[in-house]
Chains A and B, each alone.
Chain A
Amino acid sequence: MDVRRRNNVRVTGRADGPVVLLAHGFGCDQNMWRLVLPALARDFRVVLFDYVGSGRSDPGAWSEERYSSLEGYARDVTEVCAELDLRDVVFVGHSVSAMVGVLAAARAPERFSALVMVAPSPCYIDEEGYRGGFSAEDIGELLESLESNYLGWSATMAPVIMGNGDRPELGEELTASFCATDPDMARVFARTTFLSDSRRELKTVAVPTLVLECAQDVIAPREVGAYVQAAIPGSRLVTLDATGHCPQLSAPQATAEAIVDFVGAAR
């Protein structure tokens, strides 16, 4: 199994810098980090990848069984770390990937030195005594939206979108469709993301942790950020003056600064 190819792994930045592993969330791929990449690459050795089923990962490596639980995605992370033999990794996970980072750090604690959780939520569904912001019916609506919008994905485009890590000339075209995913795989990732409850795993975190939230985020509201911060002992919460669920796109400079500051303080 060629993990680098399977997960479309890319390494950039300062070769002797601390390792920062950037993990995209549900929806798109590693291009999500494009606007913060220049700032991070100045100080860090930056590792980017696509989860199997997203971006330009190898669709042949996907299985519904493995990717129906966040553990399957956490295995992608630990397998990338093992393949590159990464140590003292600062794991930066966006959205659902923040929780994938928690699971990965529990699987392979020897590899991780810090976590940055960007717009995290351990549980999206409202429950007794907990407000995640959504009901199971809302997630059904999202699945309908996925079915109605293929975003340029089609059976004929699939070979171009997927598994062409060795053809950089396609980059431009692929960035234009970087949120395009095989609808079957997207549906499984959506379900796994929004129907998982990882609240109990938060207390397993044993490394310095930064919780990075947006002031206005319909997917991960402020109270969820506060919940995550309270559940992880010693974690820091930074609220960015940003709107939406993707501060690395809407406020790239502030996001990069917060990560750089945190890594500096943690070391």
Chain B
Amino acid sequence: MCRTDQVPNEPSDRDQDAGATDAAFTSLLEDSAEELYEQAPCGYLSTLMDGTIAKINNTLLDWLGLPRQRVVGRMRFTDLLSVGGKLYHETHFAPMLRMNGEINGIALEIKAAGGSRLPVLVTSKVKTSSDGEPILIRTTVFDARDRRTYEAELLRRHREAEEARRQADADRARLQEALEVLQQSLLPATLPAVPGMEAASYYHTASPDLLGGDFYDLFPLDGTRWAFFLGDVCGKGPKAAAVTSLTRYTLRGAAMHDRDPVSVLRTLNAVLHERYNSGDARYCTSIFGFLEPDGDRTAVQLASGGHPSALIQRADGSADYLPTPGGMLIGILPDAQFTTARTVLSRGDTLLLYTDGLTEARIGPGRDLYGEDALRDFTRAQPPAGPQALVAALTTLLTGFGDGLDDDTALLALGIPATPPAAVGDPLA
């Protein structure tokens, strides 16, 4: 059985196709140039240079709903346009056409039959004589209803997008403002003056919405004692900020009644545990302490719940941690244990509290942890010039970490200046 045997025996599909094509060509050849012009699927018109319509095809006359004799020699091109279109024609279309000899795809509206308007796309070209003088303008007019509807839709969406963007910008600005106010409520605006002492702080927030999880405070209790704390809530953002807020006001409240820092942290532990023990566990680490200034010495008693040990820079240039090992995270367990420590600050001594954003910064090409040893060595290398000088040096250090500093960082330094400030009203001053 061989298929090729069958082919010559019957007329092929190809022969039939050729016959049909011939017929199509024949009918096309009968389509005269004039008929092609008159019945073209677009409007044609030719105008004199002053716009008077000299020639127009049936397609366009049909769209206009006008008889030829009312148009040719009687109307100008602009008479076909809407008033807005006339203005546009005079201010843009005609100048461009005159200057460039042609203009393409201009969106206009013509006044169509029955008072309706037909959106069209117009292209015109100037025909010049052999010596370059313009003689007439040839124009094609395309029905652009669907296209213009589509464009109008695009424009509408564009405007909506613009409006949405404006709204989003405004919302963002408002949110930013709210966040700033909220953040400010979590930190003291200024540190209070403690007699004979100096205090300095620094706060860096790594999160773009400004809500960090670190906190600190320094406030008076009864005229002879001051309380301070610094800590770090797990996580960032609004939820962490809520814990920070609860923590700050709990510590402030507890400090009024308790004289033992461990007891203050226990109160905080109970509050956080009660509030967050189911589901969304939240906790913090913190050092809380009391200051009792007495002349040029200040007694410090503090307690730590899972927080990095405080560092003390002494007047002799030494610097060492005040160890508080074993203190537990605050808010996790109902009966958490906290560690306490005491020290005395003398003239020229500075106590530094910090959060682990500082010691866990990534430095160098190996992105190593900065670490507690490096912090101690850095502090030893600084002259014992008081809390403000130490915080300023650490701020420069932190800035130098660049993007290696990827966590919130808080610093609080408390100390006694090496030289006592001149007493107010001292006649010898």
A residues bordering B, Cβ < 8 Å?
A: 25-28, 31-32, 34, 95, 134-135, 138-149, 151, 175-176, 178-179, 194, 216-219, 243-246, 249-250
Contact (Cβ within 8 A) A149 B107: yes
A to B contact number (C-beta, < 8 Å): 98
Asked whether A218 lies within 8 Å of B86 as measured between CB atoms, the reply is: yes
Q: Is the beta-carbon distance between A32 and B95 smaller than 8 angstroms?
A: yes
Q: Once the chains bind, are B82 and A246 in contact (CB under 8 Å)? A: no
| Residues from chain B with Cβ under 8 Å of A28 in the complex | 91-92, 95-96
Q: Closest Cβ of chain B: how far from A175's Cβ, in Å?
A: 7
> Given the complex, which residues of A lie within 8 Å of B37, measured CB to CB?
none
Judge whether B99 and A175 touch: CB under 8 Å.
yes
Binary A-proximity of B76-92 (CB < 8 A = 1, otherwise 0): 10100011111110111
In the complex the two chains form, what is the Cα distance from A245 to B51 in whole Å? 12
Q: In the A-B complex, list the 3 residue pairs whose CB atoms are closest, starting with the nearest.
A: A141-B84, A27-B91, A243-B50
B252 interface residue, CB < 8 Å from A? no
Flag if A178 contacts B96 (CB, 8 Å). yes
Decide: B90 and A246 in contact? CB cutoff 8 A: yes
Task: Contact check, B148 vs A243: say whether CB atoms are below 8 A apart.
Answer: no
Return the chain A residue nearest B98 by Cβ.
Answer: A249
Give the A-binding residues of B (Cβ under 8 A): 49-51, 76, 78, 82-88, 90-92, 94-96, 98-100, 106-109, 148, 151, 155
- Using Cβ atoms and an 8 Å threshold, which residues of chain B touch A142? 83-84, 87-88
Closest partner residue, chain A, to B97 (CB atom): A249
Check A145 against B98 for contact (C-beta < 8 Å). no
- B88 contacts across to A, CB distance below 8 A: 142, 145-146, 149
Q: Could you tell me the distance between the alpha carbons of A151 and B92 in the complex, rounded to whole angstroms?
A: 9
Closest to A189 in B: B91
CB-contact partner of A219 in B76, B85, B90, B96, under 8 A = B90
User: Which of B76, B92, B109 is in CB contact (< 8 Å) with A27?
Assistant: B92
| Whole-angstrom CA separation of A146 from B106 in the bound complex | 10
A145 to B95, CA, bound (A): 16
Output the least CB separation between A157 and chain B (Å). 15
Contact A147 B155 (CB under 8 A): yes
Q: List 10 A-B contacts (CB under 8 A).
A: A142-B83, A143-B84, A144-B84, A145-B88, A175-B100, A179-B91, A194-B87, A243-B51, A246-B95, A249-B99
In the complex, which residues of chain B have a beta carbon less than 8 angstroms from the beta carbon of A179? 91-92, 95-96
Residue from A219, A244, A245 having most chain B Cβ neighbours under 10 A: A244
Q: What residues of A have a CB within 8 angstroms of the CB of B92 in the complex? A: 27-28, 149, 151, 179
Q: Does A145 contact B108, Cβ atoms closer than 8 Å?
A: yes
Cα separation A160 to B83 with both chains bound (whole Å): 32
Q: In the complex, A160 Cα to B405 Cα: how many Å?
A: 43
B91 near A245 (CB under 8 angstroms)?
yes
B98 to A141, Cβ gap below 8 A?
no
Interface secondary structure of B, over-half rule: helix
Q: A141-B85, A244-B94 are in contact. Are A34 and B99 (CB under 8 A)?
A: yes
Contact partner of B91 (CB less than 8 A), chosen from A25, A34, A138, is A25
Say how far A197's CB is from chain B's closest CB, in angstroms.
Answer: 17
Known A-B contacts A134-B83, A148-B148, A149-B106; the reply to A218 vs B90 at CB < 8 A is yes
Known pairs A178-B96, A179-B92; list 9 more (Cβ under 8 Å).
Answer: A28-B95, A138-B87, A139-B84, A145-B88, A148-B151, A149-B88, A179-B95, A217-B90, A250-B94
CB distance from B77 to the nearest CB of A (A): 11
Chain B residue, CB-CB nearest to A175? B99
Nearest-Cβ distance from residue B81 to partner chain A, whole angstroms: 9
Query: Chain B: which residue is nearest A135 at the CB level?
Result: B83
A145 touching B85, Cβ below 8 Å: yes
Give B53 Cβ to nearest chain A Cβ, in Å: 13
The 8 Å CB contact of A249, one of B94, B107, B148, is B94
What separation, in Å, do the CA atoms of A32 and B91 have in the docked complex? 10
Task: Please indicate the chain B residues that have their CB under 8 angstroms from the CB of A144 in the complex.
Answer: 84
Name B102's closest neighbour in chain A (CB-CB).
A176
B99 A178 Cβ-Cβ under 8 A: yes
Residues of A near B51 (CB, < 8 A) are: 243-244
Report the Cα distance A175→B101, complex, angstroms.
Answer: 12
Asked if B100 and A176 sit within 8 Å, CB to CB, the answer is yes
Residues of A within 8 A of B83 (CB): 134-135, 138, 141-142
- Shortest beta-carbon distance from A149 to chain B in Å: 5
Contact A250-B49, Cβ < 8 Å, known A34-B99, A151-B92, A151-B96: yes
A249 adjacent to B50 (CB under 8 Å) = no
Residue of B nearest to A26 (CB): B91
Complex CA distance for A141 and B88, rounded to whole angstroms:
9
Contacts of B106 in A (CB 8 A): 149, 151
Q: Contacts of B99 on A, CB cut-off 8 Å?
A: 31, 34, 175, 178, 249
Given A148-B151, A175-B99, A176-B100, CB of A246 within 8 Å of CB of B94: yes
CA distance A144 to B119 in the complex (A): 12
Q: For B148, what are the chain A residues with a Cβ–Cβ distance below 8 Å? A: 148
* Nearest CB of A to B142, in Å: 14
In Å, the complex CA distance between A245 and B95 comes to: 9
From the candidates A135, A139, A216, A250, name the one contacting B98 in the complex (CB within 8 A).
Answer: A250
Q: Are A246 and B78 in contact (CB under 8 A)?
A: no
Closest Cβ neighbor of A219 among chain B residues: B90
For A175, the chain B residues whose CB sits under 8 A away are: 99-100
Q: Report the minimal beta-carbon distance from A27 to chain B, rounded to whole angstroms.
A: 3
The distance in angstroms between the C-alpha atoms of A32 and B106, with both chains bound, is 19
